[in-house]
Structure 1
Amino acid sequence: MGEEQRVEEAEEAEERSAPAARVVHAAVIEQGEEELERPLSSLFWSGVAAGIAIMASVWVSGALHHHLPDTPWSEAVIALGYPFGFLIVILGRLQLFTEHTAVAVVPLVRRPSREGAWRLGRLWATVFVANMIGTAAIAALAVFGPVQSAEVLDGMLAVSRKLTERDAAATLLQAIPAGFLIASIAWIRSAIEGSGFSSVFAVTYAIALGGFAHVVAGAAEAFLLLWHGEVGIGWVAGSFVMPALAGNIIGGTGLFALLAHAQVKDEL
């Protein structure tokens, strides 16, 4: 075997191999820095759009609930509707709390500073508030406006009522895996080129099947129940939104971002 052939084979092997963990880490840091440097107005309106778009998950799930019979396997099919809102939001590069906000933690973990903590807090607060405004607005439109049939709305409400089956403590615990899984999407997409659709669909479908709690998607369901008169604002905030927010932060930031950084910190 000639030297030229060995070089060609080595180059081909490098092309076929997955990128090293530190390369993926560097790509995520770059994404995080980009998010931290965006103007507040851009973050806000992108977050509002994400809150509105995430309702697609509830719409499709509600439509599937309406059309499917009440059988043991129907829940697994209804869960196929859950990824749709996430596909629109994440592939559309809209600001979603947990997905974009988790990658923004990595630059701070690498170089801790007061300024970095301030920038991260600004990003988190802006995106979270914007997401809540978007979900509240689109849920009100779904209840009070003729944007879907009455049958589909009934299906959406039936899907959303599952939130009321767990208390705040259960919501917090079930939000931790959701935060971890959503945060993993940014790393998967950085590691595997062209994996956007499949990675988002697989991860969010797993969240739906597992019955885990995502603060933004769940807020769309909670506000739907609120506007329909089935729960109060105290329940929305205290029994779902705040526990889910805490769990998502623990899972997406405290676990995934920190562990992902820990695996490469000695290589940097």
Structure 2
Amino acid sequence: MEKEDKNLEADLKKQAAEEKRVAAEEKKKQKVIDKEIQGTKKTGKDLPKSHGEILRDQISDAQETYEKSPSSLFLSSITAGLEIGFSYLMICTVFFFFGGRMEEDAVFKMISLVYPLGFILVVLGQSILFTEQTALLTLPVLNKKQTIGAMLRLWGIVISGNLIGGYMMALILNWLGPRLGIFNSEVVITIASHVVDSAPQVILVSAIIAGWLMGLLSWLLASVRDTISRIVMIFLITSVLAFTGLHHSIIGSIEVFSGMLNSNEISLLDYLSFQSLALLGNAFGGAIFVGLIKYRAFVYNIISNK
């Protein structure tokens, strides 16, 4: 018995020593990564930013977001939800104007020309939109400057604010549109039905790709400096979302919520099902395909050269 106790004690000491060694190696590796990121040289004004420079700027911007007060984040998120509603205003107006004059499928494709408006307002106005921030807010966690819990809390605040702002805009526009004669409830129902008229697995995968594209948008915006280039980037990425019918959790929320207000055929369960799948897919696409891959590509390059 005494011998077994001694062996167990020896094993525990060996395990503790191994864990300490691994922790020391991880700490050393992290110092190398941080040094490389912080030491990345700035490129010339007329040259594109390097991978390391973009990553450093993204982590710095994300850290600033983490340091903001919850009330500030929440108000900025509500603002983003309201502003993205201007895309919905234009979607309904264009559909109403061209409906009957063109094939319905063609009208849905034409919507891609006005869909980017809300995103341009959000990004240039520095409001906080969940899908545009997903990959960005993942980077400090990967860089071990923030915890997963802190990231999830921040996501919760941003999502809540975006959805509330979207609900407010939906209520305003659904009241105003018919009274201005720019669209009617039939248009609202048609658009909502088009969004939810897919199998759950299709919505999920579609939302993953949409989140991937929005994460790339955040990355690309960090690589350019002038406003015109930023507008072009936003227009290109978001018009692809609209033209291909990919599912975006925030503007999609406004579309389906509005349809639920105007039709008994779109139930609360339909809305909740769509919203949960769209949020999950957008988060996964942005965090994994952009945040993780972009960060790990930089880290592997550093480690392999050491």
Is the structural similarity TM-score above 0.5?
yes
Q: Offset at 1:150?
A: 4.2
Q: How far is 1:25 from its partner?
A: 0.7
Question: Aligned residue for 1:251?
Answer: 285
The 5-angstrom pairing of residues 128-207 of structure 1 reads 128-145=159-176, 149-153=180-184, 154-194=186-226, 195-207=229-241
**In structure 2, distance between residues paired with 1:146 and 1:60:** 11
**Structure 2: how far apart are the matches of 1:14 and 1:84?**
31
Partners of 1:176 and 1:210 lie apart in 2 by 14
Give the conservation status (yes or no) of the 8 Å contact 2:210–2:285: yes
Matched residues, percent identical?
24
Give the 3-state SS of the residue equivalent to 1:263 in structure 2: helix
CA RMSD, aligned part only? Answer: 2.0
Distance 1:142 1:97 in 2: 22
Contact 2:97 2:182 in 1 (8 A): no
Find the counterpart in structure 2 of residue 212 from structure 1.
246
Q: Does the aligned pair in 2 maintain the 1:25–1:261 contact within 8 Å?
A: yes
Match of 2:140 in 1: 107
**1:123 and 2:157 are equivalent in the alignment:** no
**Residues 89, 250 of structure 1: alpha-carbon distance in 2 compared, 3 angstrom cutoff:** same
| Distance apart, 1:111 and its partner CA | 1.4
Please report the TM-score for the alignment, with normalisation by the length of structure 2.
Answer: 0.77
Amino acid corresponding to residue 93 of structure 1 in structure 2: Q
Partner Cα separation in structure 1 for residue 243 and residue 178 of structure 2: 27
The total of aligned residue pairs comes to 253
The question of 1:49 aligning with 2:79 is answered: yes
* Matching of residue 83 in structure 1 with residue 116 in structure 2: yes
Shift of 1:79: 1.9
Residues 59 and 156 in structure 1, CA contact (< 8 A), matched pair in contact too: no
Q: Which moved more, 1:68-77 or 1:57-66?
A: 68-77
CA contact (8 A) 2:89 2:173 kept: no
1:236 paired residue number: 271
Q: What letter corresponds to residue 23 of structure 1 in structure 2?
A: E
How far apart in 1 are the matches of 2:69 and 2:179? Answer: 35
Contact persistence 1:56–1:84 (CA under 8 A):
yes
| 2:263 aligned counterpart, secondary structure | coil
User: What TM-score comes out, normalization by structure 1 length?
Assistant: 0.88
From the CA coordinates, give the structure whose radius of gyration is larger: 2
- Asked if structure 2 preserves the Cα contact closer than 8 Å seen for 1:82 and 1:204, the reply is yes
Secondary structure in structure 1 of the residue aligned to 2:48:
coil
**Which runs of structure 1 show a deviation greater than 4 angstroms over 4 or more consecutive aligned residues?**
145-148
Residue equivalent to 2:297: 263
Counterpart of 2:195, as a letter, is L
Q: 1:147 to 1:260 in 2, by over 3 A?
A: farther
- Tell whether the 8 Å contact from 1:99 to 1:186 is kept in structure 2 after alignment: yes
For 1:129, the aligned partner's letter is S
